[in-house]
Structure 1
């Protein structure tokens, strides 16, 4: 017992998968949690990218799951599940129990120091309860800033968004986009269950083309990362959190944009486009379409996620920084 919590430790991929239905129900209650904390994202990560041993601390009250701290042990280092491919990470606690849950998790880690030498907890939002919880004796922490996370506040209407866009010179020409759309040769579609596999293939191909034109491999190189995204996309689509867009011009794939959607926030995760059509600003056009589609769906924030790339600043976004919390034995 840790306060009002009963603590359960789950290890192994089989145990993580068995916990998934309860985890999914808890995630539904946590309206501020991001898609990167969903089992539909993290369980595929464990299966395809998690080079280590899953170690999950489950917090229960009267037997019901009230919180979960999903970790991966890599040798003697403990990290969050999803590290590397996820832009926001944290423990998941039933609303109202965040501070108590964070303290219980840290206490449990302190009691299990034989498992780890260092905990490297990346991509915590500034408001994470882990950052402000007290530390038991024998544990010290270091907190460091990470790269910027940029986001754009969306207006209630597409007309207001269009007015904002007109003064954004680097965001492309509204007239050019209108000409493309009137031509009848430009189409933008959103993946559904029947066509998901084809959309994913287009996304992988366009991402690889765009980065190959720069002499770089991109971040989707290798069968493991592709298998992860394929499995995660199926689960995320089934829960309504995936928005995978494909833009075609004259029957050929032009651009793809992989977005995650939850609550009032849409996350522009990864994209790709055909560099042979770069003069038509495909990346800008498909991002504008995603923003407009999100406004129609009630979103109020377009999150560009990690990284300070120039095209993001062209939209005049606001900026926050995630934090990295490192726990070590004192």
Structure 2
């Protein structure tokens, strides 16, 4: 299936002005084996040409999720092309939802914290617009979660029904001297608590995994901590409800993943799973022992992790989605992050709007 970008823009709301060569761009919808072949053979080249892409767009991460799709799901890839070949692409999954309607969402959602196009023209407004408009022609309810609001795709789908989510990014190294007096005092108090713990004879150990074997061993500890914190609470249990599935993803992605842990004696009390690309790390799943809340093991781990990453040459640690809960905002604000936003946008098919009602999109 193809359509010209000029036609899509003419129909698209907002009256965006196409690029001079936009009429030569078409969008192909690849499905099933054709989509899988594109993911294996051509995706890596597009990813390498996308500086803003995150590990959630890496071919290894996506292929690992594609191999775990249920029998009812169909892999789809939208490819915007010109005479110069593929210029941008978006990986999707089409499946029939609980209410029997066809639904489309990005491949690896909701595990992925950021959804982006890949390719040399991924940030061209006209190309992002034609891909977004092509989504409306799939005869399905479309849900695009976690699209950076400042991306070309994010700016276009802001015209759809959507909600916004805050995201926090810590610049490295952390400059504690630039923080408010009260924040510096809190960091000093927590550091003193852990120093006192060590002075009392307790062994406090920080580690960051460096190979697949260490990663998978540490994941067992992280999953156990995560279950202690979130068991039976619903959304927070989204990964631990399928530990083996996610473990297989990590095994495939070991070269771009690590887990940092903090232990008292032999007991791991906090762990943080991160992905990385270049000098930018992305926190995907933190966990800590809720019984030690007074010691704030999550803060103790994060202070060590940020110092470790800065020493290793990393320039940023992205903490990802931030709920509106006061605790989450206060926790991340302690590190003077740069705040950004992502969109979760919905475009129901012409058959109705059950998806938006079901997902709570205003």
TM surpasses 0.5: yes
- State the match for 1:144 in structure 2: 162
**Structure 2 residue ranges without an equivalent (≥5):** 5-22, 97-101, 351-362
Cα deviation for residue 18 of structure 1 reads: 5.8
Matched, 1:34 2:60: no
CA deviations on 1:10-55 (whole Å, 9 max, x unpaired) are: 3226842662342123212212111122232223333336662211
The 3 A distance-change label for structure 1 pair 325 and 279 is closer
TM-score by length of 1: 0.80
The 5-angstrom pairing of residues 158-307 of structure 1 reads: 160-161=175-176, 164=179, 167-168=182-183, 169-171=185-187, 173-180=190-197, 183=201, 185-191=203-209, 192-212=211-231, 218-222=237-241, 225-238=242-255, 241-307=256-322
**Structure 1 residue ranges without an equivalent (≥5):** none
Query: Is 1:49–1:228's contact at 8 Å kept on the other side of the alignment?
Result: no
The 5-angstrom pairing of residues 66-81 of structure 1 reads: 66-75=87-96, 76-81=102-107
Cα deviation for residue 205 of structure 1 reads: 1.0
Measured in 1, the distance between the counterparts of 2:135 and 2:236 equals 38
The 3 A distance-change label for structure 1 pair 161 and 91 is same
Matched, 1:84 2:102: no
TM-score by length of 2: 0.73
Query: Is 2:204–2:263's contact at 8 Å kept on the other side of the alignment?
Result: yes
Task: Report the more deviating stretch, 92-101 or 197-206.
Answer: 92-101
Cα deviation for residue 89 of structure 1 reads: 0.8
- State the match for 2:144 in structure 1: 121
Task: Report the more deviating stretch, 165-174 or 198-207.
Answer: 165-174
- State the match for 1:315 in structure 2: 335
The 3 A distance-change label for structure 1 pair 178 and 65 is farther
CA deviations on 1:180-221 (whole Å, 9 max, x unpaired) are: 456571111112223222111111111112234989973333
- Aligned CA RMSD, in angstroms, stands at 3.4
Measured in 1, the distance between the counterparts of 2:194 and 2:180 equals 12
The 3 A distance-change label for structure 1 pair 65 and 214 is closer
- State the match for 1:54 in structure 2: 75
Matched, 1:44 2:64: yes
Measured in 2, the distance between the counterparts of 1:318 and 1:306 equals 13
Matched, 1:24 2:47: no
- State the match for 2:127 in structure 1: 101
The 3 A distance-change label for structure 1 pair 11 and 213 is closer
Match 2:344 to one of 316, 324, 330? 324
Displaced runs of 4 or more, over 6 A: 213-217
The 3 A distance-change label for structure 1 pair 228 and 58 is farther
Query: Is 2:163–2:345's contact at 8 Å kept on the other side of the alignment?
Result: no
Measured in 2, the distance between the counterparts of 1:96 and 1:320 equals 19
Task: Report the more deviating stretch, 175-184 or 81-90.
Answer: 175-184
Measured in 2, the distance between the counterparts of 1:74 and 1:15 equals 15
